[in-house]
Amino acid sequence: QVTVRDALNQALDEELERDERVFLLGEEVAQYDGAYKISRGLWKKYGDKRVIDTPISEMGFTGIAVGAAMVWLRPVCEFMTFNFSMQAIDQVINSAAKTCYMSAGSIAVPIVFRGPNGASAGVAAQHSQCFAAWYGHCPGLKVVSPWSSEDAKGLLKASIRDDNPVVMLENELLYGVPFEMSEQAQSKDFIVPIGKAKIERQGTHITLVSHSRPVGHCLEAAAILAKEGVECEVVNLRTIRPMDIETVEASVVKTNHLVTVEGGWPQFGVGAEICARIMEGSAFNYLDAPAVRVTGADVPMPYAKILEDNCIPQVKDIIFAVKKTLNI
């Protein structure tokens, strides 16, 4: 078993070793080993030129990273939380995402923006927002959102090797969670292709589609519902953009029911996009009931624990949505 933290550390270590153009920069990533210890040991191994501590200025160090990517270095730019990426939104969207298109393909921007995204625990509204829908909205970016250690390692390696800017939305509460990792996943050649979802559990009655931490909630809900004779198929999106809608459609054709689950806000969310795509495609003809979304509450995150818990989708919310959709 390997924690998500160690899987990310492995991926960074292997890619720094494999390609001398790869470097890591961000707040506290070097001498302190990273705010979440993702970059533990890398500064000692690779030195000041490859693992760089930056001042507390997202606008500044993101601009430096984007400029470096334009001259064919491969920066990995860490945000201490994606909430702070708002300070650098101009560099991420206007500089990185649009440059390849506006230069008619002559300037690639091979950069990875990574760090914790979504709700943590007890850090209130300023640190608890999910940016999957925000960044998934923007052409020119690829956006990935891992759940397991295998997802985290494979997607980070694929993102570093990609010639496009990639936003990698991790979850802070998953960093210390151990997952089974196959021998293949621990090899240096292992990657998870960007844009390919994974069916985490086979089922026949209803499709649950999710990404990041809520995938675990879906699997818990599916295990409980299985005892009542309801077999849920759980789809782990893994990539927000480009979205693997084909896997979702194939599952809906099989189960005839759909529930989407996410930690982000409901309006214009990832679930809303999935529902629209199903509505517009041939899988709509196979639905036996309206698709249902389970999302975070439509409020800035409260600080009090009991309120916070009620703002984040829980296993009971998923079970309620499934039973409502199946009319049981």
Known catalytic residues?
Answer: 58, 127
Locate all alpha helices (DSSP H) within the chain, ordered by sequence.
4-18, 42-46, 58-70, 89, 98-102, 132-136, 149-161, 214-226, 245-255, 270-280, 305-311, 315-326
242 preceded by a cis bond (ω within 30 of 0)? yes
Sign of the CA dihedral with 50 first, then 73, 17, and 212 last: positive
Spatial strand order of the sheet with 239-241 comes to 51-53, 22-26, 74-78, 112-116, 166-170, 142-144, 239-241
CA torsion angle for 80, 86, 87, 93 (degrees, to 10)? 110
**Which amino acid is present at 202?**
Q
Report the distance separating Cα 28 and Cα 253, nearest Å: 48
252 in Cβ contact with 283 (< 8 Å): yes
d(CA 317, CA 294): 7
Short-list 244, 73, 85, CA closest to 167: 85
Taking each helix axis as running N to C, give the angle between helix 149-161 and helix 4-18, from 0 to 180 degrees, rounded to the nearest 10.
30
